[in-house]
Amino acid sequence: MADKAMDRIAKATPPGITKRVRGLSDRTIAWIFVAPSIFLLLAVNIFPLIWTIRLSFTNFRVNRINADVKWVGLRNYERILNDPDIWQTMQATAHFLIWTIFFQVLIGFTLAYLINKKFRGNDMWTTIIVLPMMLSPAVVGNFWTFLYQPQIGLFNYVVSFFSGVDPASFSMIGSVNLAPWAIVIVDTWMWTPFVMLICLAGLRSIPGSIYEAAECDRASKWRQFWTITIPMVLPFLMMAVLFRGIENFKMFDLVVQLTGGGPGSATEVTSINLKREAFEKWRTGYASAYAVILFVTIFGLASIYVKALNKVKER
């Protein structure tokens, strides 16, 4: 049937076209298809990367187009690596990254484990749980600033209800000690459903026969969990950690909406700091060096992680 259809199409194709197409080698046709993508990749990714690396060795400022651009060698890199403020933003980023991933994996996996059980209203609960991740980060940031408001915010009242402290006595986004946790809570609220969905996919991919075999061998539920569930869900979990890690390393919108990087620089993550250097202070050369350092860091960490992920998959 399919052959007949192909024959019909071949007959219907004008001879001129067939000739022209026949005149091209497979390799040429492949290049024709791939060339636009390669061109775009070079124009949008590779060229800017090379240009950024070049700028990182200069004192170029984009707001002084007419000024002389001097070659400063490694000075920008040296200043960045010796700047205690930059290290503080790195620490703020690490705090945000580690704790959000920890809570999202813990809560996401627990929710997935519970949702995976058959119970009435299962679909409805799944839908409700994934709602936060469908919202815009700007909207989420904005309404959480109201929830965190000391005088009228629901969050402070809930804490006050359970702990008895005066709700106006603490400010989640105005306190140096609490603000880093305030952004962790919001990101966890928003993105735990994403981790849950990935874990759920992992849990549902485990064949029931493996558990049945374990039951026959009289393995306890605890043992089944540690020797079947966790190892088989692990590649999915690691994938979720990779996605969330990359996303949170470049976190910008949510934190800007919530705290703007403050108070002080308690929540100034690297992306906010980089934006300030590049587009507020206009230190283009310096910001380029900063971007290169971050790129190398993310690329290096991601490469190591992907290797580990592949090893886990092979097991």
Partner 1 sequence: MKTSNLMMATAMATISAFAATGASAESMTLCWAAWDPANALVELSKDFESKTGVNMEFEFVPWPNFADRMLNELNSGGKLCDLMIGDSQWIGGAAENGQYLKLNDFFDANGISMDDFLPATVTGYAEWPKGTPNYWALPAYADVVGWTYRKDWFSRPELQKEFKGKYGYDLGIPADLSQLKDIAEFFQGRDIDGKTVYGAAIYTERGSEGITMGVTNALYNYGFEYGNPENPYAELDGYVNSDGAVAGLEYYKSLYDCCTPPGSSDWYMSEDIDAYKSGQVALQMNFAFIWPGVNADPNVGGDHTGYFANPPGPAGHYAQLGGQGISVVANTEHKDAALEYIKWFAQPEIQARWTEMGGASALRAVVEDPAFPDAQPYNKAFLESMAIVKDFWAEPSYASLLLAMQDRVHKYVVAGQGTAKEALDGLVKDWTEVFQDEGKI
CB atoms within 10 A of CB 257: 20
Nearer to partner 1, 25 or 66 (CB): 66
Which span sits near partner 1 by CB under 8 A: 12-20, 36-44, 104-112, 252-260?
252-260
Cα–Cα distance for residue pair 103/141, rounded to 1 Å: 19
Among 40-48, 106-114, 147-155, 229-237, the segment contacting partner 1 (CB under 8 A): 147-155
Name the one range near partner 1 by CB under 8 A: 8-16, 118-126, 222-230, 258-266.
258-266
**Segments in 13-68 forming alpha helices (H):** 15-22, 26-41, 47-55
Window contacting partner 1 (CB under 8 A); options: 63-71, 102-110, 230-238, 292-300: 63-71
Residue 288 binds partner 1, judged by CB under 8 A? no
Compute CA 173 distance to the chain's CA centroid, rounded to the nearest angstrom: 23
Conformational region of residue 149, where left means phi above 0, alpha means psi within -120 to 50, and beta covers everything else: beta
Closer residue to partner 1 in complex, CB, 280/314: 280
Helix then strand count (H, E) for the chain reads 16, 0
Virtual torsion, Cα 222, 225, 230, 233, nearest 10 deg: -160
Task: Check residue 261 for interaction with partner 1 (CB under 8 A).
Answer: yes
The answer to whether the CB of 255 falls within 8 A of the CB of 273 is: no
CA–CA dist 272, 294 (Å, integer): 13
- Asked if residue 281 binds partner 1 (CB under 8 A), the reply is yes
Nearer to partner 1, 30 or 176 (CB): 176
CB of 264 to partner 1, least distance (A): 3
Question: With respect to partner 1, which residue has the nearer C-beta, 42 or 165?
Answer: 165
Question: And the tokens for 139?
Answer: 């909207």
- Residue 85 CB, shortest distance to partner 1, in Å, is 8
Residue numbers at the binding site for partner 1 (CB under 8 A): 59, 62-66, 85, 148-151, 168-171, 173-176, 256, 259-266, 276, 279-283
